[in-house]
């Protein structure tokens, strides 16, 4: 029986996440399954051996006691999605299954651990917020000693960017290690400190699934490779 890799549904650019995992990646032992807040299936969710929490619209600020009015907020939130993906995270963490959280997903797992968000980056939006068809591009600094550094061998790297919110650095839970920041200090990646407590719990603010050069960029390709390796090791 194939192991299931669950990808949470987003109404924006979902196919990019699905297409990131090609036939060669999946081989004969893995298959993709859709986990959608529009038709939640707890049994399917619990049957997965790993999870991708995808990007999308802002998390409803009621989930982290944020300001209800702020610049660049969406017209509508998706609280049902927030609740469903929070359940995915809690189950995946409790059962020690690999979790890769991307962009909004990174903000969600941070909020689930009691964190707050910078609700709009203001002037920094010129650097991070997507305002055309193309993602922004900027550099990141990878922290030595992190798993991200071990996998990629990079101290300095380049990533794409399409966000206007970020993690509040003063509210990052002790269990998280900040593993990458941009040149101005914006948090770009976090990972679970206790590697025995959880084998793969990584979150990135960029979009590895849609980088232009994702097959050659270690901050996309090596993350994917180690994620899939970790899923294959789940008993």
Write down the domain spans for the chain: 3-232
> Who has greater pLDDT, 200 or 130?
200
Give the whole-angstrom CA distance, residue 167 versus residue 177.
13
Predicted local confidence at residue 123, as pLDDT? 76
Q: Which of 110, 163, 198, 207 is catalytic?
A: 207
Percent of the chain with pLDDT over 70: 99
The answer, yes or no, to whether residue 46 has pLDDT greater than 90, is yes
Catalytic residue among 48, 85, 103, 163: 103
- Which of 85, 191, 209, 226 is an active site residue? 209
pLDDT tens per residue, range 124-148: 767 777 777 789 899 999 999 999 9
Collect all residues with Cβ–Cβ distance below 8 Å to 169 and sequence separation of at least 6: 178, 185, 187
pLDDT in tens, 75-126: 999 999 999 999 999 999 999 999 999 999 999 999 999 999 999 998 776 7
- pLDDT > 90 in the chain, percent: 90
Residue 67 pLDDT: 97
Is 163 one of the catalytic residues? no
Whether 38 is catalytic is no
* Residue from 195, 206, 210, 202 nearest 179 by CA: 202
Q: Which residues pair with 191 in a beta bridge?
A: 177, 202
* Residue 197: CB atoms within 10 Å: 11
Q: What is the mean pLDDT of residues 157-179?
A: 96
Question: How open is the CA angle 124-163-123, to the nearest 5 degrees?
Answer: 15
Residue 43's pLDDT is what? 97
209 flagged as catalytic: yes
What are the respective helix, strand and coil percentages of the chain, to the nearest 5? 35, 25, 45
- pLDDT averaged over every residue in the chain: 95
**Model-level pTM?**
0.96
3-232: CATH topology: Rossmann fold (3.40.50)
């Amino acid at each position: 029986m194939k192991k299931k890799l669950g990808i949470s549904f987003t109404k924006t650019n979902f196919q990019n996440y699905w297409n990131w995992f090609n036939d060669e990646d999946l081989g004969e032992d893995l298959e993709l399954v859709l986990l959608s807040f529009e038709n939640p299936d707890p049994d399917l969710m619990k049957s997965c051996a790993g999870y991708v929490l995808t990007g999308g619209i802002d998390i409803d600020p009621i989930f982290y006691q944020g300001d209800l009015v702020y610049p660049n907020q969406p017209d509508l939130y998706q609280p049902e999605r927030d609740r469903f993906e929070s359940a995915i995270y809690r189950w995946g963490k409790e059962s020690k299954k690999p979790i890769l959280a991307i962009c909004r997903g990174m903000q969600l797992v941070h909020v689930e651990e009691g964190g707050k968000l910078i609700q709009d980056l203001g002037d920094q939006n010129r650097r991070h917020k997507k305002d055309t068809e193309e993602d922004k591009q900027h550099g990141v600094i990878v922290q030595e000693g992190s798993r991200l550094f071990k996998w990629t061998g990079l101290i300095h790297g380049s990533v794409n960017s399409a966000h206007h919110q970020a993690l509040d650095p003063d509210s990052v839970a002790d269990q998280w290690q900040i593993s990458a920041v941009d040149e101005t200090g914006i948090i770009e990646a976090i990972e679970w400190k206790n590697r025995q407590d959880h084998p793969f719990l990584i979150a990135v603010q960029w979009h590895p699934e849609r980088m232009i050069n994702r097959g050659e960029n270690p901050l996309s390709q090596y993350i994917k490779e180690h994620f899939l390796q970790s899923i294959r090791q789940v008993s």
